[in-house]
């Protein structure tokens, strides 16, 4: 009787958490449509996630979950670490680190660090802008330079309530420096992942970048909060798949519906093909984005060591973006 009561309580608890996250997100998700602060938080980091078009909240595993869905941290069996690097637009560089450690009955602990380096920018002033006495145009350069940047440090905790249901939370300190002005805030993420028990289908929900408005000078700006609902499953693999059973080949498909705070609803689809759990090819597509669209990637996994690469197309106006990730998993 006690066991049945416990199962009923856990089931109701799952529903309450899911409904609470949904209501909270919808209530705030449409509160402020427009400019948001800390835009760098919206940039995907790991090569596997971006290679699958960021259809990832239900497909993520390992330490990378600290960035996408902390509920999926429970996939860390023992210890997992991953580092990623990206050369973004206009010499902006992003570097990230994710760590996951399974603490047994205490749950799974995670750590994340993110550094955004904008590089040196030459200072200009209006007072020195214009034509000099020789009718030579002066661009307003003062000879000084400054280096804007941003950083994130965060901790996560996740736990499995049942064999099918896991949840996790993240608290992170975020700081952005814009020359003479800077801002910092404590930001939160929360996520759920549910193994439906039907074949390999998993369903996820994640709220990221949730917190109070950020003040720059004399104005407040909302955080770039996003709400993801995702689903993933294997069309091919060792067992219990939606399609063909194969011990050599695997095909995982994933879909995410994304509701940003500052944009219309967006959709991500992704696919990963694996050969002997050693070599991987990935592809994805992002819908209803200004420039982003096609995503491609590849990866290699050997005795727990991982290397991943992705390429994301940003249309005709911007160059493509390359990402690299390396990782280690101890089972």
CATH of the domain at 269: 2.40.160.60
327 burial class (0-12, 13-18, 19+ CB within 10 angstroms)?
Answer: buried
Q: Which helix (H) or strand (E) holds 67?
A: helix 65-68
105 inside domain: yes
Predicted local distance difference test score (pLDDT) of residue 6: 39
Nearest CA to 174 among 9, 14, 42, 316?
42
Q: Are 320 and 80 in contact (CB under 8 A)?
A: no
d(CA 267, CA 137): 47
> In Å, how far are 94, 196, 226 from 41, measured between CA atoms?
11, 30, 10
Q: Is residue 130 part of a domain?
A: no
One pLDDT digit (tens) per residue for the chain, 331 residues: 434 433 543 454 455 445 444 544 454 444 444 578 888 899 998 999 999 999 999 999 999 999 999 999 999 999 999 999 998 877 889 999 999 999 999 999 999 999 999 877 777 787 777 777 777 777 777 777 777 889 999 999 999 999 899 999 999 999 998 877 889 999 999 999 999 988 899 999 999 999 999 888 778 889 999 999 999 999 998 877 788 888 899 999 999 999 998 889 999 999 999 999 999 999 999 999 888 889 999 999 999 999 999 999 988 777 889 999 999 999 8
Domain membership flag for residue 131? no
Overall number of domains in the chain: 1
Beta strands in 163-318 (DSSP E): 165-178, 181-195, 202-210, 214-216, 219-221, 226-237, 244-245, 249-260, 266-275, 279-287, 294-302, 305-312
Domain range for 246 is 2-124+143-330
135 lies in some domain: no
Residues shown for the chain? 331
pTM for the full predicted model: 0.85
pLDDT digits (tens, 9 = 90+) for 76-119: 999 999 999 998 877 889 999 999 999 999 999 999 999 999 87
Whether residue 138 lies inside any domain: the answer is no
Report if residue 134 sits inside a domain.
Answer: no
| Mean pLDDT computed over every residue of the chain | 87
Q: Per-residue pLDDT tens for 179-198? A: 778 899 999 999 999 999 88
DSSP state of 331: -
Q: What is the pLDDT of residues 155-186, one digit of tens each?
A: 999 999 998 999 999 999 999 988 778 899 99
Give the pLDDT confidence score for residue 20 in this predicted structure: 47
- The answer to whether residue 129 sits within a structural domain is no
185 in a domain, yes or no? yes
Closest of 240, 266, 269 to residue 254, by C-alpha: 269
């Amino acid at each position: 009787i006690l066991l049945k009561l416990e199962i009923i309580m856990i089931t109701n608890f799952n529903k309450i958490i899911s409904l609470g996250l949904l209501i909270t997100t919808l209530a705030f998700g449409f509160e402020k449509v427009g400019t948001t602060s800390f835009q760098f938080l919206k940039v995907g980091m790991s090569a596997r996630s971006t290679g699958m078009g960021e259809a990832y909240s239900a497909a993520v595993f390992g330490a990378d979950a600290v960035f996408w869905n902390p509920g999926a941290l429970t996939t860390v069996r023992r210890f997992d670490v991953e580092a990623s690097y990206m050369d973004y637009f206009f010499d902006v560089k992003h570097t990230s680190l994710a760590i996951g450690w399974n603490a047994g009955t205490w749950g799974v602990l995670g750590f994340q660090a993110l550094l955004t380096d904008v590089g040196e920018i030459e200072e200009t002033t209006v007072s020195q802008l214009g034509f000099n006495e020789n009718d030579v145009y002066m661009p307003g350069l003062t000879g000084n330079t400054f280096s804007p940047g941003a950083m994130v440090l965060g901790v996560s905790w996740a736990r499995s309530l049942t064999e099918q249901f896991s949840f996790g939370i993240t608290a992170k300190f975020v700081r952005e420096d814009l020359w003479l002005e800077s801002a910092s805030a404590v930001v939160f993420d929360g996520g759920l992942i549910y193994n439906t028990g039907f074949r390999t289908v998993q369903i996820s929900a994640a709220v990221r970048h949730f917190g109070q408005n950020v003040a720059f000078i004399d104005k407040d700006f909302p955080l770039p909060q996003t709400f993801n609902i995702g689903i993933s499953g294997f069309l091919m693999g060792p067992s219990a798949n939606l399609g063909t059973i194969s011990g050599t080949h695997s095909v995982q498909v994933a879909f995410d519906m994304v509701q940003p705070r500052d944009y219309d609803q967006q959709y991500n689809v992704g696919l990963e093909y694996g050969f002997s759990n050693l070599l991987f090819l990935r592809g994805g597509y992002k819908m209803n984005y200004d420039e982003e669209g096609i995503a491609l990637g590849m990866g290699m996994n050997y005795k727990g060591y991982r290397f991943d690469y992705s390429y994301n197309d940003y249309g005709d106006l911007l160059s493509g973006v390359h990402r690299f990730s390396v990782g280690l998993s101890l089972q």
